């Protein structure tokens, strides 16, 4: 029999592949295909079918919400949505959103921190100006405040969800459980021991207490009438809008600073022991009145004592005491309502009463108010929530009388109202009508209790029932030691109460300092929030030079002038590399336009993923930059100015430029051997930096002229092997290297073939910078660290946050130069970067979070067990209806001894969590110890463990059933995911090879995780599908592949081989061949 030829074997293989191509793929009925014809489906079929897929299923009725205290705010955000929303923010100059915030929070700054995953920095920015920023994030009427001023309201996507971002950041900080501390840099306070009383533990008093404590006052006492703090925030705002946990966290921040809290201590108590006068007699030097208005306003027609007549002041506290876990130790029960409920009023409190009534058992709730919808006092956000929950609205009505039977209310006789010619509301008394009701809740506002006015003397009240105050200082007009704020001062929303406390704190400070004849700045100087994180040292050493922090300005547009570098140093940047300068004979003139945004992401505004520039070096003379270096070094001795030099490959030019620079006494210099456009054509920049021998020669020339002054060679990525260039620089005498300069590229062209930027429709190759080049920069830095251990490296190329800069440090760099991120924003981002880096070091001293948190993101449980609330069901259609049914059963079962013991908001997240602070167990490490931390983990491919196989695991509860994993796996991977046509739940089969492509395209963080194959599929070891069985039995097995490993690429061997005159042997050929694969 004739031996089979190669051609015979190829034909057989072709037939086998043809037969196997279909068998390898599972059922792809749901895989998208190119449409070849129009689809037809009768509308009657669509009407029946659509309910199966609806995501926006409203409650069938408000009564479905009984016992359900889930978070209902439309503004609440997950980390994923918070990051996306923060990326939209424009960070406007003189931002109008900030001008509309009563507490003057630096809104654009905290949103920028969120976009950079620095949630601590975001919370610190918020809480520095508003100590109850978490509560305000939950309940602020932002449509009338910050959101109302957002410039993005002018475009179709609408304004930023500012309060949602604020709540997210503060909530994440709450989870960190970081203690408050006093800033050790604050001067001693002459009046520190003065005694201060604050009446009421509500928003105004807590805010005042925090600011007073931050200034250094040590004898601050809060007096609260209830057994719990928070005032109206706790007692009257329902838990589904403002969890009690938020209030406890905000009070804890005050007690961390030494504030004392006394519960069950009402002002104007029955014995008359607690009054403003008694405080003065007890030695208190200042008194702040921050109590709420506790007495309801009840019209005379409702004073008959009928059963079923409630007020907001009696109803809402009972709801909160029963529903807010941990708030009240008493055995409170939810008020039992049934049937029809009428709520009188159209303010925020009325909306809370209406939505709470459903949770207490009401079947129908009607809001009755005397004016129209356009005159409602409630903010739009509250009205929308009530509308979504199927509350009925009856405008233009007032009550004529209460209808009752056997002492029990059965309805109201109402009259229609209208506006007369004088603009007054008048009622039509001749045509009344009856509205049946089982309960009536009065929400007409509140007033100060009678005994409170007497207890506040010598302070007096206005005819409107409010304290007589100077509204600029919130100091009593009757008595200088009395201050006030909150409800009793006329502030009707939480954030205004917080600002009252802030304002009064400064007023009390001025008054108390005056008692000690101490001077006070005319401009308020309130300390910002301070924690142990802010005391962490982030200084680092670059060679022998100490840097205040690892953040500096790259030689780029941010260092165009001396004034710009000066402003950067004032903001906190540790070092700056000047714009590259040259000898006068080589001076340049730039073209325009020359700096454009990238086209890799179709996005307008800040947060550009890349920039391309065709800008040359500085147009200013060497003399200008030498004088700049001298002046800035003298004015900022702790900061470092790095002159950036460029010349042709000429010894005389380089040494002349260095000798000109040395009188400025630079602490170190940088040699620009890498500018990828324009300068290379002049024999400079890239022309000097792509050949190792030239780099070495230039460094030798500079070392000869520079003496002991450190200098760094800035390397180009536009070479085959950057490690050879780095080694050449070090051999030439360089102290270290900077990696990398911009990547040469062509950003794109329009449909007419004209590139941008262009000069008279012509362009040239430019330098690409920004986050798009970060992977290349990280590769270069780590490769240099591996090839030349302990080499000092300044990294540049894509650093845009503390998180990304930390990656460069772990890869081996000691500091990072930044430009594109500043072009996206401005110099103040340095605060964000420093805070984020301090958090990283701090958390390593916290064993409770150091190993489990990823940066500032807490861990998510991946091994989800089936939950009784329906986590095994999708979130749409009939499945969602079943989920709600199960949820309702769970909430009902939570009633224990007549008390709702757990809140099922976000699976019990807000029930009664621990908000106490945790102290670090060990001191944070130095930043120097972080340098190169990841280098040992970067190895050759052949050193990776082929036995450590993983597979994808889908979390059904997090999955939104989009099918992206299914589609991607089918058309670009291994057809290892099934997709249920009814539930749209994806299922990963044991065909999964662990490529992680599905995880990469999944839109939901942590929905797909890669887990050990041995644990997920213990009976199915990984066996590659070969298509056609190999002829050799062991070919391609894990052991066989391990046996065939080669040594991989070695730059030192390559350099030695280049220098050797003899022909390389077969082993060397094998090494080089292996490196290409």
What lies within 8 Å, CB to CB, of 622 at 6+ separation is 581, 582, 583, 584, 657, 660, 661
Tracing tokens 């309201």 back to the chain, one arrives at 153
Structure tokens belonging to residue 35: 């449409």
Give the span between the Cα atoms of 386 and 355, in whole angstroms: 6
Name the H helices within 24-60. Answer: 43-50
Residue 733 Cα distances to 441, 532, 1060, angstroms? 84, 42, 23
- In angstroms, the CA 998 to CA 990 distance is 15
Q: Quick one: how many helices (H) and strands (E) in the chain? A: 34, 39
On whether the CB atoms of residues 206 and 131 are closer than 8 A, the answer is yes
Contact 952, 994 (CB under 8 A): yes
**Residue 675 catalytic?**
yes
Distances (CA, A) of 635 to 110, 484, 852: 30, 46, 44
Cis bond upstream, residue 926 (ω within 30)? no
Coil vs helix vs strand at 230: coil
Residues 6+ apart with CB under 8 A from 244: 228, 230, 234, 320, 324, 325, 326, 327, 910, 912
Angle between helices 162-176 and 107-115 (to 10 degrees): 60
Q: Are 541 and 809 in contact (CB under 8 A)?
A: no
Tokens of 57: 């299923």
Q: Which residue has the tokens 């925090």?
A: 210
**Token reading at 530:** 């301070």
Q: Which residues contact 373 (CB under 8 A, 6 or more apart)?
A: 393, 395
CA dihedral (586, 591, 593, 598) in degrees, to 10, reads -40
DSSP assignment of 370-409 equals: SS-GGG--S-HHHHHHHHHTT-EEE-SEEEEEEEEETTEE
Q: Identify which of 135, 122, 138 has the alpha carbon closest to the alpha carbon of residue 251.
A: 135
3-state helix, strand, coil in the chain (%, to 5): 35, 15, 50
CA distance linking residue 994 with residue 728, whole number of Å: 41
Beta strands in 193-324 (DSSP E): 195-199, 219-223, 260-262, 286-289, 295-296, 309-311
In whole angstroms, what is the distance from residue 885 CA to residue 897 CA?
23
User: Angle formed by the axes of helices 79-88 and 162-176, to 10°?
Assistant: 130
User: Quick check: 725 and 750 in contact, CB under 8 A?
Assistant: no
Given 113, 675, 699, 965, the catalytic residue: 675
Structural element, H or E, at residue 470:
strand 469-470
Between strands 408-419 and 397-405, the pairing is antiparallel
Euclidean distance between CA atoms 1048 and 1074, whole angstroms: 6
3-class state of residue 974 by DSSP: coil
Distance CA 606, CA 596 (A): 12
Instruction: Identify whether the C-beta of residue 864 lies closer than 8 Å to the C-beta of residue 144.
Output: no
User: Quick count: other Cβ atoms within 10 Å of Cβ 717?
Assistant: 22
What 3-state DSSP class applies to 484? strand
- C-alpha triplet 495, 499, 503: angle, nearest 5°: 170
Residue 711 in 3-state DSSP? strand
The structure tokens listed for 651 are: 């010894």
Active-site residue list: 675
């Amino acid at each position: 029999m004739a031996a089979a030829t190669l051609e015979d074997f190829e034909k057989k293989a072709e037939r086998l592949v043809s037969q196997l191509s279909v068998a390898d793929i599972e059922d792809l009925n749901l895989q998208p295909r190119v449409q070849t014809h129009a689809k037809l489906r009768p509308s009657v079929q669509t009407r029946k079918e659509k309910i199966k897929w609806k995501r926006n299923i409203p409650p069938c009725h408000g009564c479905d919400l009984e016992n359900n205290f889930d978070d209902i705010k439309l503004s609440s955000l997950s980390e994923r949505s918070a990051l996306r929303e923060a990326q939209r923010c424009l960070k406007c100059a003189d931002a109008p959103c900030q001008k509309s915030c009563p507490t003057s929070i630096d809104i654009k700054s905290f949103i920028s921190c969120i976009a950079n995953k620095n949630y601590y920095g975001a919370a610190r920015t918020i809480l520095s100006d508003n100590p109850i920023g978490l509560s305000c994030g939950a309940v602020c009427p932002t449509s009338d405040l910050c959101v109302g001023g957002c410039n993005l309201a002018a475009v179709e996507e609408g304004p930023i969800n500012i309060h949602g971002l604020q709540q997210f950041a503060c909530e994440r900080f709450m989870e960190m459980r970081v203690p408050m501390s006093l800033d050790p840099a604050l001067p001693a306070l002459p009046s520190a021991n003065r005694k201060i009383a604050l009446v009421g533990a509500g928003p105004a008093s807590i805010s005042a207490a925090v600011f007073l404590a931050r200034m250094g006052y040590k004898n601050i006492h809060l007096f609260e009438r209830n057994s719990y703090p928070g005032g109206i925030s706790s007692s009257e705002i329902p838990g589904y809008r403002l969890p009690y946990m938020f209030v406890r966290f905000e009070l804890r921040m005050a007690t961390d600073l030494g504030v004392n809290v006394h519960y069950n201590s009402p002002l104007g108590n029955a014995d008359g022991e607690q009054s403003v006068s008694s405080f003065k007699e007890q030695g208190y030097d200042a008194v702040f009145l921050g109590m709420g208005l506790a007495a309801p306003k009840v019209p005379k027609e409702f004073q008959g004592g009928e059963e079923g007549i409630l007020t907001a002041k009696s109803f809402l506290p009972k709801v909160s005491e029963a529903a807010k876990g941990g708030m009240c130790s008493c055995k409170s029960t939810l008020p039992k309502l049934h049937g029809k409920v009428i709520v009188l009023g159209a303010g925020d409190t009325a909306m809370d009463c209406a939505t709470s009534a459903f949770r207490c058992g009401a079947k129908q709730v009607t809001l009755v108010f005397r004016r129209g919808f356009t005159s409602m006092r409630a903010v739009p956000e509250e009205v929308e929530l009530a509308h979504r929950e199927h509350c009925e609205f009856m405008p233009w009505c007032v009550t004529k009388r209460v209808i009752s039977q056997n002492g029990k209310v059965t309805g109201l006789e109402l009259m229609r109202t209208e506006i007369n010619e004088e603009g007054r509301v008048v009622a039509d008394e001749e045509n009344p009508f009856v509205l049946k009701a089982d309960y009536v809740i009065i929400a007409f506002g509140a007033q100060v209790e009678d005994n409170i006015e007497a207890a506040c003397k010598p302070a007096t009240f206005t005819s409107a029932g409010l304290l007589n105050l100077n509204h600029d200082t919130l100091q009593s007009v009757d008595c200088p030691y009395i201050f006030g704020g909150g409800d009793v001062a006329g502030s009707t929303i939480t954030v205004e109460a917080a600002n009252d406390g802030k304002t009064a704190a400064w007023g009390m400070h001025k008054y108390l300092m005056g008692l000690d004849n101490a001077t006070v700045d005319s401009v308020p100087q309130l300390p910002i929030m301070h924690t142990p994180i802010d005391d962490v040292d982030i200084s680092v050493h670059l060679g022998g030079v100490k840097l205040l922090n690892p953040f500096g300005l790259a030689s780029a547009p941010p260092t165009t002038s001396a004034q710009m570098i000066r402003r950067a140093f004032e903001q906190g940047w540790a070092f700056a590399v000047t714009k590259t300068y040259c000898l006068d004979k080589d001076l340049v003139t730039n073209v325009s336009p020359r700096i454009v945004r990238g086209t890799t992401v179709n996005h307008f505004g800040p947060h550009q993923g890349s920039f391309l520039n065709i800008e040359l070096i500085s147009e200013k003379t060497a003399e200008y930059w030498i004088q700049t270096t001298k002046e800035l070094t003298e004015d900022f001795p702790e900061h470092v100015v790095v002159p950036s030099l460029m010349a042709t490959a000429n010894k005389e030019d380089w040494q002349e430029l260095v000798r000109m620079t040395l009188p400025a006494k630079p602490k170190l210099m940088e040699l620009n051997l890498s500018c990828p456009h324009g300068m290379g054509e002049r024999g400079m920049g890239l022309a000097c930096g792509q050949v190792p021998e030239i780099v070495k020669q230039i460094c030798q020339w500079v070392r000869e002229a520079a003496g002991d002054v450190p200098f760094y060679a800035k390397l180009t990525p536009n070479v085959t092997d950057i490690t050879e260039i780095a080694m050449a620089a070090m051999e030439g005498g360089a102290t270290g290297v900077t990696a990398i300069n911009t990547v040469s590229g062509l950003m794109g062209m329009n449909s007419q073939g004209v590139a941008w930027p262009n000069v008279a429709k012509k362009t040239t190759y430019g330098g690409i910078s920004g986050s798009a080049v970060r992977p290349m920069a990280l590769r270069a830095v780590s490769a240099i660290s591996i090839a030349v251990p302990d080499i000092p490296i300044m990294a540049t190329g894509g650093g845009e946050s503390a998180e990304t800069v930390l990656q460069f440090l772990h890869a081996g760099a000691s500091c990072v130069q930044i430009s594109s991120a500043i072009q996206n924003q401005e110099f103040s981002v340095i605060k964000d970067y420093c805070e984020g880096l301090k958090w990283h070091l701090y958390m390593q001293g916290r064993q409770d979070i150091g190993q489990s948190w990823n940066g500032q993101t807490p861990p998510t449980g991946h091994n989800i067990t089936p939950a009784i609330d329906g986590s095994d069901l999708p979130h749409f259609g009939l499945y969602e209806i079943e989920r709600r049914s199960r949820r309702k059963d769970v909430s009902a079962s939570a009633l224990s001894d007549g008390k709702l013991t757990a809140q099922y908001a976000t699976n019990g997240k807000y029930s009664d969590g621990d908000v106490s602070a945790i102290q670090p167990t060990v001191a944070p490490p130095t930043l120097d110890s972080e340098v190169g931390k990841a280098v040992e983990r970067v190895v050759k491919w052949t050193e990776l463990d082929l036995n450590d196989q993983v597979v994808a695991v889908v979390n059904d509860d997090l999955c939104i059933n989009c099918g992206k994993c299914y589609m991607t796996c089918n058309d670009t991977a291994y057809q290892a995911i099934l997709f249920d046509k009814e539930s749209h739940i994806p299922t990963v089969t044991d065909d999964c090879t662990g490529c992680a492509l599905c995880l990469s395209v999944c839109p939901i963080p942590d929905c797909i995780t890669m887990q050990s194959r041995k644990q997920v599929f213990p009976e199915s070891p990984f066996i590659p599908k070969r298509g056609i069985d190999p002829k050799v039995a062991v070919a391609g097995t894990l052991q066989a592949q391990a046996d065939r490993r080669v040594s991989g690429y070695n730059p030192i061997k390559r350099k030695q081989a280049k220098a050797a005159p003899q022909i390389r042997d077969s082993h060397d050929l094998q090494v080089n061949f292996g490196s290409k694969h």
